[in-house]
Amino acid sequence: MLRTERLTIVTSGVAALIALVVLLAWSGNPATAQTAASGATITVNTAADVSKPDGNCSLREAIRAADTNTAVDSCAAGKARSQDTIQFSLGRRATIVLKRTLPPITARSGLTIFGGEESKIIVSGDDKVRVLAVRRDARLDLRNITVADGFADGDGEGGQTGGAIKNNGGTLRVFRSTISANNAVSIGGGIANIGGGTLRVKNSTFAGNRAGSAGGGILNDGTLDLAYTTFYNNDAELIGGGIQNANNVRAITTLDNTVLAKSANGNINNVCAGGQCRGRVVDGGYNISDDASFRFTTQTSRSRTDPKFDPDGLQYNGGPTQTVALRPTSPAVNFIPKDTNGCGTTTTADQRGTRRPQNLRCDAGAFEKVLRR
């Protein structure tokens, strides 16, 4: 059953079809679900996980309506060739407990699942099922959604992957999100980005995710772009407790302004075989890691450096999602010069919506420390 102290993913990704909307989403500005107005708006009005004609629109039915572009029960039909938006009319707090994994996202034109600026919507895998999956060439953008207690023990499609989300050759964008306490029997405890998929994460936190083999936070076998992201206390039994980059020429992980700490068996691992590393990890600068599992290549990034996270770990520090706060003495505080790596230009807020920068420089990771004057 859902345990409120065990949130799995709190998401707030923003998406749209036009370039302006994409810019707003990736810059940290709080665009609304109306940015995808060219597509259909499908409103979920029941927390029950049902798929039967009862006059309501469940999340399961809403995804089917978007995937098939047909009305399902009281859910409006999605629109072909336009990015649809699923929103919720469930009050300020609601929990949807899944009986089985939600229908896979198949819409090539894209789907946004938007929990609302004020509402706290929880979608729970109940420690039994993976919550979301994105199929090849499909697109999913998540925003202001909590996905809790996801679990994957293998489904014969891409091996024993998943945890909360599996992106198999599609495009997944996660923005202002927290991914926590997910489990996978083998690989990809938080997110498994496989099949050459594209995963972009910004202003987000990965905490307490676990994989039985590799990639406790993220398993990447495609394109992974991380910006202003925090990895904390993730675990893999073999390698890559934080991030596992596959031994594949298509596996490219790029990270900037990202903080990684307390990962079991390595914050970052790039798989090599016979002395050859086919995948690549690119250091975009201003990263901090408390171990030396990956050797940063820029002079601005730091290995073997304790980021000095708040000892209380993952908690609500303001905003709709849980974050891991920084202590005032953290080396991540005031780490990034203004106008560098998006500080104060394309990135003007942190995961909570707090203004970046607070002073003349931005903090690394998902959390911007508000220093008392």
pLDDT band at 171 (very low <50, low <70, confident <90, very high): very high
pLDDT band at 2 (very low <50, low <70, confident <90, very high): very low
pLDDT on residue 156: 45
Gap between the Cα atoms of 268 and 373, Å rounded:
36
Structure tokens at 156: 């014969």
Gap between the Cα atoms of 11 and 269, Å rounded:
25
DSSP letter for 330, please. Answer: -
pLDDT on residue 34: 43
Residues 23, 153 contacting (CB under 8 angstroms): no
What is the second-level CATH architecture of the domain 9-362? 3 Solenoid (2.160)
Task: Report the SS3 class of residue 60.
Answer: helix
Residue with tokens 């993730």: 234
| pTM (two decimals) | 0.89
How much of the chain exceeds pLDDT 90, in percent? 72
- Mean pLDDT estimate for the chain: 88
Burial annotation 249-262 (CB, 10 A radius, 16+ → b, else e): eebbbbbbbbbbbb
Burial annotation 77-89 (CB, 10 A radius, 16+ → b, else e): ebbeebbbbbbbe
- Residue spans of the domains in the chain: they are 9-362
CA gyration radius, the chain: 19
Q: Which tens digits make up the pLDDT trace of 93-123? A: 889 999 999 999 999 999 999 988 878 888 8
Residues 190, 167 contacting (CB under 8 angstroms): no
Backbone angles phi, psi at 332, to 5 degrees: -75, -20
pLDDT on residue 217: 96
Instruction: Residue 255: name the closest of 234, 223, 231, 227 by CA.
Output: 227
pLDDT on residue 22: 35
Gap between the Cα atoms of 113 and 330, Å rounded:
34
Gap between the Cα atoms of 135 and 251, Å rounded:
18
DSSP letter for 35, please. Answer: G
How much of the chain exceeds pLDDT 70, in percent? 88
pLDDT on residue 159: 53
